[in-house]
Amino acid sequence: MFERTPVQFGQIHPARQLTEWLSLWHWHLRQGMALDQGPLASGERWLLNWAGVSLILGAGIVLICGYHAGFSRLNTLTRAHPDWLWSCLTLLGDERTAFALTLSFSLRRPRLFWALILAGLLAMAASRGLKELIDAARPPAVLVAGSFHLIGPALTQASFPSGHSTTAAVLAGTFIAHTRWIEVRLLLLILATLVGLSRVAVGVHWPLDVLGGLMIGALSAWLGGRLAARWPAPGGWLGVHLTAVGLAALAAFSLLIDDGGYPAAAWFGRLIAIVALIGLTWHYLKRPAPKGL
């Protein structure tokens, strides 16, 4: 192992300091890519099974009961829990939240970070493409106001699939594919499902939208992991990595000032942003450098 000494800021010329930072980050990326494993076969099977179950349930709902089936029942049942809980869960499905959370491991697990970026791009293309193509009406556009519980803004268009559910499945699915711990996989699966359920609880998505989003997210995580294993760009393309990190930092900053339409979850978003920015500062600016780099 290298002996590590802290980087002394303010003692060298800014241009040289930047050069040393770049060299340090590049070294950590190469080390991380060499040590980091790709997706596990068992984890990939979990993702394919998750996507398959979501597809079967969704097909069964729409063929037997119709597109809007299950909403009223689930929306009523979720009222037993406080609005702030569903607001926080739905904020976890915000793309900004998922992106900000990557700052806690982007330098230590660059292959995982890259897999998440690729999965996110695939999921975004599929989700937003289907939203524009299908343009299904959301519950507030179909149901009479006051006949269901609504938390936050009354969104009316582009219902299928649920973008928050897709994002939650991408984030959880990428970790599921890279961990051996069954307990962790189950926890992530449950959490992503709860994020999807929160979209019904806040009154802006049908259950079918949620199942569609979970399916797309799981498949995107599976494909993103495979692509990252065969195309390890961040280890050699420092600019790609730093661009993604910069966008993640902007996402974290936006959580400090914008609650996404859910005021009850504003504190939760700020907490995530603060933790993410602390992680960014520690890993990229304060982390000790190897001697003789």
Q: What mean pLDDT do residues 221-230 have?
A: 91
Is 36 part of any domain? no
Domains held by the chain: number? 1
pLDDT digits (tens, 9 = 90+) for 244-284: 999 999 999 999 999 999 999 999 999 999 999 998 888 88
Q: Is 124 a member of any domain?
A: yes
232 falls within a domain: yes
What string of DSSP letters covers 157-223? S--SS-HHHHHHHHHHHHHHHH---HHHHHHHHHHHHHHHHHHHHTTS--HHHHHHHHHHHHHHHHH
* Per-residue confidence (pLDDT) for residue 3, from 0 to 100: 42
Q: Could you tell me if residue 235 is inside a domain?
A: yes
Could you give the CA distance from residue 21 to residue 7 in angstroms, rounded to a whole number?
Answer: 9
d(CA 166, CA 214): 5
* pLDDT, position 14: 67
- What's the rounded Cα separation, in Å, for the pair 226 and 239? 22
- Residue 169's domain spans which residues? 44-284
User: Is pLDDT of 235 > 70?
Assistant: no
In a domain, 38, yes or no: no
Does residue 98 belong to any structural domain of this protein? Answer: yes
The pTM (predicted TM-score) of the whole model is 0.89
CB atoms within 10 A of CB 136: 20
Does any domain span residue 200? yes
Q: How far is CA 292 from the centre of its chain?
A: 37
**247 lies in some domain:** yes
Instruction: Provide the CATH number for the domain around residue 114.
Output: 1.20.144
